Amino acid sequence: MVAAIQAASRPVSYNYAAVSGNAGHDRAAQEAVWLQGVRRILTENITPEQAVDEAIARIKEILSE
């Protein structure tokens, strides 16, 4: 019963690729663009602003392909 309640109360994930018709959304998710930015902040000491700018640039690149 607890498992059923937990499964039913989870937020529903939104499939941007299916809604937009652009498979680039799936590719951006598979590349974990945002997580790569967090990793670079922690390991390469770049600023959060740099990481966000790079992530946005990469996502735009993926979506334009």
pTM above 0.75, yes or no: no
What string of pLDDT tens digits covers the 65 residues of the chain? 888 887 778 777 777 777 777 788 888 888 999 999 999 999 999 999 999 999 999 999 998 88
Angle between helices 33-44 and 48-64 (to 10 degrees): 150
| pLDDT at residue 53 in the model | 97
User: What's the one-letter identity of residue 65?
Assistant: E
- Distance (Å) of CA 61 to CA 11, 53, 57, 64, 65: 29, 12, 6, 5, 7
The alpha-helical segments, DSSP class H, found in the chain are 2-9, 16-20, 24-30, 33-44, 48-64
